[in-house]
Amino acid sequence: MDNSNNKHWKNVTYAGVYDRVGEFALKEELDRQVFEQVLRYIPRKGILVDIACGPAHISKAISELGYRVYGIDISKDMFGKIDSRMHYDFFRGNLVNLDQGLIYQIESKDLLADVGIVVNGWYAMTAQERKKDKNKMEKIRWKSLLNMSKLLKKNGILIITDPLSSSRKLSLLNVISFIKREINAEIQTRLGGKITILKKIKASFVVLLRVLNKKSAKILQYNRQILKDSHLFESAEEMCSFIKRTRIFQVIETNDKLYLGHNILLVARKTVE
């Protein structure tokens, strides 16, 4: 199956600036949610695979706790952002057309994982420059989900978080709401303690500088285009019923919340052999 989404992710400039997305307090909040879910489900001495890992912020933090972790991504430039001193394996792979050789390599190294995470990565696999074809998009989702299951042990857990389609809307109200939420997240995640006027002023200033920063502005601009070219689920229910139909995973829990966009966070258990 043709997968022209490579063009989006082979963009070296994007890989160069993407790491800065970690500076947003709302992304840190989302990452923390995923981090906590991983710790709930990973057994002692368990293995974690970070699918479409990008700069691998969450799995880096998990590896520091002593778990075995590795990442897979289509873009080798994203790997350049991962600390080379880390005990961490990377594989370059396309989850839509997963190379059988790569699966053998992972199996032979005993790297089938107990838990997999795919953070803002599943929708990314559907980012196409050409006009959208709904059937083709559904096939990409299905095939990539099946490929993700091949990286997991029997009954393995997959934690997915993806933006829902309302994240595309860039109205003035949404921008204002985003800035307000980012200021609150900045206070909660980085300044801590009770909210005071002084903290509000400090956080507002930090957020303003962050949003006006050239690199951050570039990420937001690229992301806008990628979201536009991607197939996003309308709602949590739609995503759950799609996964149910595939019979590859069984959904265990979901929640959705406004982070950088409106994200759903979903935990599922592998049901295929």
Ligand X SMILES: C[S@@+](CC[C@H](N)C(=O)[O-])C[C@H]1O[C@@H](n2cnc3c(N)ncnc32)[C@H](O)[C@@H]1O
Q: Which residues bind ligand X (CB under 6 A)?
A: 5, 9, 52-55, 57, 73-75, 78, 94-96, 119-121, 124-125
Which residue is listed with tokens 């982070």? Answer: 259
Task: Compute the least distance from the CB of residue 199 to ligand X, in Å.
Answer: 27
Task: Compute the least distance from the CB of residue 232 to ligand X, in Å.
Answer: 12
Which of 146, 123, 145, 132 is CA-nearest to residue 233?
123
For residue 143, CA distances in Å to 98, 218, 248, 265 come to: 9, 31, 10, 20
Cβ contact 147:1 at 8 Å: no
DSSP state of 125: G
Nearer to ligand X, 56 or 199 (CB): 56
Nearer to ligand X, 20 or 269 (CB): 20
Task: Compute φ and ψ for 59, nearest 5 degrees.
Answer: -70, -30
Task: Compute the least distance from the CB of residue 219 to ligand X, in Å.
Answer: 9
Residue nearest to ligand X (CB): 54
Nearer to ligand X, 119 or 199 (CB): 119
CA 174 – CA 185 distance, rounded (Å): 16
Task: Compute the least distance from the CB of residue 132 to ligand X, in Å.
Answer: 16
Nearer to ligand X, 27 or 199 (CB): 27
Nearer to ligand X, 54 or 116 (CB): 54
Task: Compute the least distance from the CB of residue 10 to ligand X, in Å.
Answer: 8
Task: Compute the least distance from the CB of residue 183 to ligand X, in Å.
Answer: 22
Nearer to ligand X, 67 or 259 (CB): 259
CA 48 – CA 69 distance, rounded (Å): 5
Nearer to ligand X, 77 or 238 (CB): 77
Beta strands in 147-206 (DSSP E): 152-163
CA 199 – CA 269 distance, rounded (Å): 42
Task: Compute the least distance from the CB of residue 32 to ligand X, in Å.
Answer: 12
Q: At what angle do helices 25-41 and 172-186 cross, to 10 degrees?
A: 60
Nearer to ligand X, 105 or 204 (CB): 105
Task: Compute the least distance from the CB of residue 19 to ligand X, in Å.
Answer: 8
